[in-house]
Amino acid sequence: MAYATAADFTAYTGTTAPDDINRRLERASERIDELLFASIYPTDDAGMPTRPEDAESMNRATCAQAAWTIAVGDEFGVAAAFKSVSIGSVRLERGNSGDAPPARYSPDASSILQRAGLLPGYILDGGVW
């Protein structure tokens, strides 16, 4: 169950939602659930937040996560794992072992949840600074 709708995404970003926005919001909600894993907040029987301020923060964070994955063009967080990719004769070149893993979470989404007091600690995503 997504924490945001296509209308929420449009209102948050000020842009028209892509055709597959419902799927992207579901995926973004999964990332938000990962961030909220050890968080404590009241929920209903379906697991949705019951405090309006929590629901609003989770809604905005979901929209930020979806917008970020659209902007970076890497919904699954795998493209940054390669320095180069070729299609003809398939050639993949992984990053150096010292490179940080690709980022999985939107910086704006984690910031929204942090400021709302929903995160129990800091996000250590491993993305390059």
- Position 92 scores a pLDDT of 61
- Stronger pLDDT, 2 or 103, i.e. the higher one: 2
Residue 21 counted as domain residue: yes
Residue 85 counted as domain residue: no
Residue 86 counted as domain residue: no
Q: What is the pTM of this model?
A: 0.79
For the stretch 97-129, pLDDT in tens is 555 656 788 999 999 999 999 987 655 555 554
DSSP state of 114: H
For the stretch 67-94, pLDDT in tens is 999 998 877 666 655 556 556 776 666 6
Q: Is 62 exposed, middle or buried (0-12, 13-18, 19+ CB in 10 A)?
A: buried
Q: Which helix (H) or strand (E) covers residue 110, if one does?
A: helix 107-115
Residue 125 counted as domain residue: no
| Distance from C-alpha of 98 to C-alpha of 57, rounded to nearest angstrom | 35
pLDDT surpasses 90 at 36: yes
Residue 95 counted as domain residue: no
SS (H, E, C) 1-23: CCCCCHHHHHHHHCCCCCCCHHH
- Position 112 scores a pLDDT of 96
For all residues of the chain together, what is the average pLDDT?
84
Count of the separate structural domains present in the chain: 1
Residue 93 counted as domain residue: no
DSSP string, 29-91: HHHHHHHTTT----B-TTS-B-SHHHHHHHHHHHHHHHHHHHHHT-TTS-GGGEEEEETTTTE
Structural domain including 53 reads: 6-77+105-115
User: Which residue's entry shows tokens 């892509």?
Assistant: 18
Residue 99 counted as domain residue: no
Residue 59 counted as domain residue: yes
- Position 104 scores a pLDDT of 84
CA distances from 87 to 72, 76, 79, 91, 92 (A): 20, 19, 14, 7, 9
